[in-house]
Amino acid sequence: MNSSIQMYMDLNPIIEKEAFDYAIRNYCSETDTHLHLDKLFIQKNFNLNGKRILDFGSGMGSMPLWYKSNWDCEVTCIDIDKNHLEISKKLFENFGVKDIKLECRDITKHPLQEKFDFIVLTDVVEHIDLNILPDILKQLENALAKGGKIFVSFPPWQGPYASHVEHIIGFKWCQFIPDSILIPIIKKRNRDLAGSIEKTLVDAYLGLNKMTFGKLMNIISIHTNLRLTARNAHSVLNKIPFFRHINFTVFPLNFLISKEILIFEHS
């Protein structure tokens, strides 16, 4: 048994089952998970047939399986969390999918050599240390095939869901509570997660880099030659039919943005 399988098998069976059920729900549901906006945007704007897709920071595999189920495409998953990849493997096996490539890989140590038509970072950039994010984004730019696109989505730091623990704390925008108060509250309600890196809710919160649209664009402009070609700053106001297609990005309405969805291409 290799080390990654051993690490996954060492998970508490209850946590393992919760993680697997969570992955299935994220794959199967088109409306009831945090991924529904990503799915809707991709379905509306892209035909991925024949494309080489890289899901970078692929997590527990829900989106890679969704790509494979909806298009005739090649899918590669790269993540640094061995537990998440093992859950992905179990998810793919459960649905009889055998040709999705899984890699446990730190690209800061083992750079990408392949080329991809569509590179996806779904709820990933906010978890990457800012010291290495520029290098990672540059590598992803270099791995982008001619005419390819990079899809980035994340809940911006000023938005209602940025803390990743609002469901535990009980209210949105809890990231604005001083850490001296908030972290002890999270610790009191702490629980184990399925990750081998972010092992608890406290780890998940402390691992956030407080990403915003402006911060990401600053990194992109300084360290890459990518250009932004589309932005969907999804706001809670977009639930109102009259405002459905409006990006509310100016202060203070930017505090209502639940998810940023961005498309980048070669300049």
Same domain, 177 and 122: no
Q: What is the pLDDT of residues 112-137, one digit of tens each?
A: 999 999 999 999 999 999 999 999 99
Q: For the chain, what is the domain count?
A: 2
Same domain, 148 and 46: yes
Same domain, 97 and 31: yes
Same domain, 102 and 171: no
- What does pLDDT average to in each consecutive run of 10 residues of the chain (267 residues)? 41 89 92 89 97 97 97 98 95 95 95 96 97 97 98 98 93 96 96 93 97 98 98 92 89 95 97
Same domain, 42 and 88: yes
Supply the CATH number for residue 16's domain: 3.40.50.150
Q: What is the pLDDT of residue 9?
A: 47
CA-to-CA distance for 101 and 79, rounded, in angstroms? Answer: 11
Same domain, 120 and 143: yes
Q: Supply the pTM of this predicted model.
A: 0.94
Same domain, 45 and 108: yes
Same domain, 82 and 183: no
Same domain, 178 and 262: no
Residue 236: Cβ within 10 Å count: 17
Q: Residue 199: give the domain boundaries.
A: 163-207
In sequence order, what are the residues at sequence separation of 6 or more whose Cβ sits closer than 8 angstroms to the Cβ of residue 5?
86
Q: What is the pLDDT of residue 236?
A: 87
Same domain, 75 and 146: yes
